[in-house]
Structure 1
Amino acid sequence: MVRRLVGSRRVRDRAGHTRQRYGGCFGRSAVTGKRGHLTRDGVKLSYVDFGGQPEKTLLALHGRAGCGRNYAPLAQALRDNTGRPDWRIVGMDQRGHGWSDHATDRTRDAFLDDAAAMIEHLDCGPVVLMGHSFGGVNAYQLAAHRPDLVRALVIEDVGCRFGPAKPGVSWPLRWETLDQFLAFMRSTEIGMDRYLLDSLVEYEDGWGFRFSDAWHDEARAHITGDWSDDWAAIVCPILLMHGTKSWLVKREEMDRMAALNPRCELKIFEGAGHVPHDERPEEFVMALRDFLGRSAA
């Protein structure tokens, strides 16, 4: 048996904010979406389609340890007063995450080819491509190498230069109780970021994630390097978002990236951490709506 975390529970994020969790996301979201999948080179790739017009598709790539369901609140927020979606949000479970296969190939090309295959599978022409953290690297590299697939780009809190990964805390495979899990996460550098909870499920032998920490270590190793040339090569409009209290990337890197590509505009979330779409949801949606209206309408 595998059961997702449901119901409501108050949790405290890394910035110290207490939020209520309702059935897989913070805040009430009536949007559940439709689960779909495709198979590329024998690897099943899962996604959640939250509905909307195909010609206004936004494909969202989650961060490390996230999943496509992270974007249910965004899909809800991008609806009009009648409940109809202004944009079709599709949240992809990238390989090794969520309900997609944990394939042995964890190289950069594998992730980029997966995202390209997803866009082609959706059959809706060039999309707005959004990526958070690890997913942001995948998004901007795909935009650089396959400009025919991306009409506009939204990148949340990730840079272009990565040194070798530092040894970190080894995560247990299972926690006996949900309280043990919450206590452990608060002790880590990442803290209680909400997107992690969407990947948490209850197995027969306790609570665990729909991903492998060891799997992530290898995938992270392939990011090591300087991808500034890819960033500079992007030809579509870019919205780059950054929280000033991010544990991952510094403001100086964001300023450098904004100067490196003239198509980039930088949005700063003062006091937010690594996940502005959770920590500043209203401000995030306002900035996103404005960008989409000007750059991808």
Structure 2
Amino acid sequence: MPRPVALVGHSLGGLLALRAALARPDTVAALVLEDPAKPDGAPAPADGGEAFVADPETVASVESSLIATERDRAAELARMRRETPWSDAEIEAWADSRPLVDRAYVRRGLFLGDPAWEQLFSALVVPTLLVLPPQAPMAPRPELVDNPLLRTVVVEGAGHCVRRDRPAQYHAAVDAFLAQHLR
């Protein structure tokens, strides 16, 4: 049988990694969750609804991105370069992904499951690191989680993509955690 692995997930991937660790703890040596998506029990449109992506009627081709025109794309790329420490490759890939978003899925909403959020964290039986930005509305409320295997690190100055916004702090916390739990 293969050795248990470290699972690392961000946002929706964090929720999936959390559920995998709960379902198959024997396969998980350590769990790292970067601002995981919180289930709320009801379908809800993605942030910004369909404004999240360009209107398909105004997008000239799949290569165009993010917003309706190339000028809008250029302005958004310039904003990202000013406001984030992300690399050009990450910014370009982020922009290129926008026209690929399934608009019907965004319209229908996102159902992430049962809202018993804190109970999921209390039920974990594997060492878990929760990496959060200072403003983390999806984070489990600490007073409702009773689990000595859960450690939380808040990375100042980070947004939802902690690893991109503050890579040195993110990797320092994650590397130390994994070094302690992967032997």
Same fold (TM over 0.5): yes
Instruction: Output the amino acid matched with 2:133.
Output: G
Instruction: Give the distance between the partners of 1:192 and 1:219, measured in 2 at CA.
Output: 28
Q: For 1:151, what is the secondary structure of its paired residue?
A: strand
Equivalent residues, number: 163
Pick from 12, 16, 23: which aligns with 1:145? 23
- Whether the 8 Å CA contact 2:6–2:29 is kept in 1: the answer is yes
Pick from 138, 151, 159: which aligns with 1:249? 138
Instruction: Output the amino acid matched with 2:180.
Output: R
Instruction: Give the distance between the partners of 1:264 and 1:230, measured in 2 at CA.
Output: 11
Matched residue, 2:11: 133
The change in CA–CA distance for 1:124 and 1:212 in structure 2 (over 3 A counts) is farther
- Bigger RCO (CA 8 Å, 6+ sep): 2
Q: How do 1:205-224 and structure 2 match up within 5 A?
A: 208-216=98-106, 218=108, 220-223=110-113
Matched residue, 1:278: 164
The change in CA–CA distance for 1:193 and 1:158 in structure 2 (over 3 A counts) is farther
For structure 1, the residue ranges without an aligned partner over 5 or more in a row are 1-122, 202-206
Instruction: Give the distance between the partners of 1:169 and 1:218, measured in 2 at CA.
Output: 9
The change in CA–CA distance for 1:182 and 1:135 in structure 2 (over 3 A counts) is farther
The change in CA–CA distance for 1:271 and 1:192 in structure 2 (over 3 A counts) is closer
Instruction: Output the amino acid matched with 1:154.
Output: V
- Whether the 8 Å CA contact 1:199–1:210 is kept in 2: the answer is no
TM-score normalised by the chain length of structure 2: 0.70
Matched residue, 1:154: 32
Pick from 120, 127, 133: which aligns with 1:230? 120
**Is 2:97 the counterpart of 1:198?**
no
What are the superposed Cα offsets for residues 208-239 of structure 1, whole Å, 9 maximum, x if unpaired? 43331432555722435224333222111000
Deviation at 1:128, TM superposition (A): 0.4
Instruction: Give the distance between the partners of 2:85 and 2:33, measured in 1 at CA.
Output: 18
Instruction: Give the distance between the partners of 2:104 and 2:13, measured in 1 at CA.
Output: 18
Pick from 180, 183, 195: which aligns with 2:72? 180
Instruction: Give the distance between the partners of 2:146 and 2:106, measured in 1 at CA.
Output: 29
For structure 2, the residue ranges without an aligned partner over 5 or more in a row are 60-66
The change in CA–CA distance for 1:178 and 1:245 in structure 2 (over 3 A counts) is farther
**Is 2:149 the counterpart of 1:263?**
yes
Instruction: Give the distance between the partners of 2:45 and 2:106, measured in 1 at CA.
Output: 13
Deviation at 1:261, TM superposition (A): 1.9
Instruction: Give the distance between the partners of 2:2 and 2:163, measured in 1 at CA.
Output: 25
Instruction: Give the distance between the partners of 1:249 and 1:233, measured in 2 at CA.
Output: 18
Instruction: Output the amino acid matched with 1:255.
Output: P
Instruction: Output the amino acid matched with 1:293.
Output: A
Instruction: Give the distance between the partners of 1:225 and 1:278, measured in 2 at CA.
Output: 28
Deviation at 1:147, TM superposition (A): 1.1
What are the superposed Cα offsets for residues 10-49 of structure 1, whole Å, 9 maximum, x if unpaired? xxxxxxxxxxxxxxxxxxxxxxxxxxxxxxxxxxxxxxxx
The change in CA–CA distance for 1:199 and 1:149 in structure 2 (over 3 A counts) is farther
For the aligned residue pairs, the C-alpha RMSD in angstroms reads 3.4
